[in-house]
Structure 1
Amino acid sequence: MSSESSKAVTITRQSGYQFLVDFGPDIPTLLADEPSPLGQGAGPAPDHMLLAAVANCLSASLLFALQKFKQDPGALKATATPVMGRNEAKRLRIERIDVAIELGRPAAELEHIDRVLAQFEDFCTVSMSVRQGIPIGVRVQDGAGAVIKG
Structure 2
Amino acid sequence: MSQGEIRVSLTQQSDYQFLIDFGAGLPQLLADEPAPLGHDQGPAPSHMLVSAAANCLAASLLFSLRKFKQAPEPIRAEAVGRIERNAAGRLRMSTIEVTLHLGRKAAEMDHLQRVLDTFEEFCTVSQSIKTGVDVQVAVHDADGVKIK
TM-score range, shorter chain: 0.7 to 0.9
> Aligned partners of 1:84 and 1:37: how far apart in 2?
17
Q: CA RMSD in A?
A: 1.4
Counterpart residue type for residue 90 of structure 1: G
Higher RCO structure (Cα 8 Å, ≥6 apart):
1
Name 1:123's counterpart in structure 2: 122
Q: Deviations over 1:108-133 (max 9, x none)?
A: 00100001000000011111000114
Q: Which residue number in structure 1 is paired with residue 15 of structure 2?
A: 16
1:81 and 1:109 map into 2 onto residues whose CA distance is 29
Identity fraction in percent: 56
Name the structure 2 match of 1:39.
38
Q: Which has the higher strand share?
A: 1
Runs (4+) of structure 1 moved beyond 2 Å? none
Structure 1 unpaired stretches of 5+: 135-150
* Aligned-partner residue type, residue 37 of structure 1: P
Report the counterpart of residue 4 of structure 2 in structure 1.
Answer: 3
* Count of aligned residue pairs for this structure pair: 131
Q: Residues of 1 paired with 2:89 and 2:25: CA distance?
A: 41
- What is the alpha-carbon distance in structure 1 between the residues aligned to residue 125 and residue 15 of structure 2? 29
The unaligned stretches of length 5 or more in structure 2 are: 134-148
1:8 CA drift (Å): 0.7
